[in-house]
Amino acid sequence: MEGTLYPAFGPEISCPQCRLPIPGLILTETYLCDRHGAFEVDGPTGELVHGQSGRRWRRWQGEWYRQHMHPDGLRFEIHYSLDDAYRLGERVSKIRIAERYRPLLQGCLEQKGQEEHLFGLQVEFGSDESPDWAVVNFQLVKETGRLRRKS
């Protein structure tokens, strides 16, 4: 909103690193975490940028989603998420990855016939449904539950 004293995400946000509430500094686009230092709002992209590391996040429904610049970061995130799913006994049938990462992952995917695979699972890009795929990075398609859909 124009004329507001606070940075674009309001007077307070949760730190993308530690999730504690951190204040916006008046008349700046800066949020300051005692533990992690300064985060700046990058106006044109709507992203939050960590001053020290250059890491970037986008926000959707109050959650921060790290925006990956390097394929390894995204692959690690997917790998951890798969580990969690397997630990919970969930069966993952596919990995759906945001379309914007297609160029980044070129060269990391295994070609099997017409399909592309990562960690032994089929990969598809983009989505025709919520959540907001301009922000989130990927979704594990489980064999049962609400993420299921016919292909």
Q: Which is nearer to Zn ion, 58 or 96 (CB)?
A: 58
Question: Does 48 engage in binding with Zn ion (CB under 5 A)?
Answer: no
- Count interface residues toward Zn ion (CB under 5 A): 6
Q: Which stretch binds Zn ion (CB under 5 A): 35-43, 56-64, 106-114, 134-142?
A: 35-43
Question: Does 16 engage in binding with Zn ion (CB under 5 A)?
Answer: no
Binding residue for Zn ion, selected from 3, 35, 61, 150, defined by CB under 5 A: 35
CA 7 – CA 151 distance, rounded (Å):
43
CA 144 – CA 45 distance, rounded (Å):
36
Residues ≥6 apart with Cβ < 8 Å to 19: none
Q: Which of the residues 96 through 135 are near Zn ion (CB under 5 A)?
A: none
DSSP tally for the chain: helices H, then strands E: 2, 12
Q: Which is nearer to Zn ion, 55 or 96 (CB)?
A: 55
CA 54 – CA 73 distance, rounded (Å):
13
Residues within the interface to Zn ion (CB under 5 A): 15, 17-18, 33, 35-36
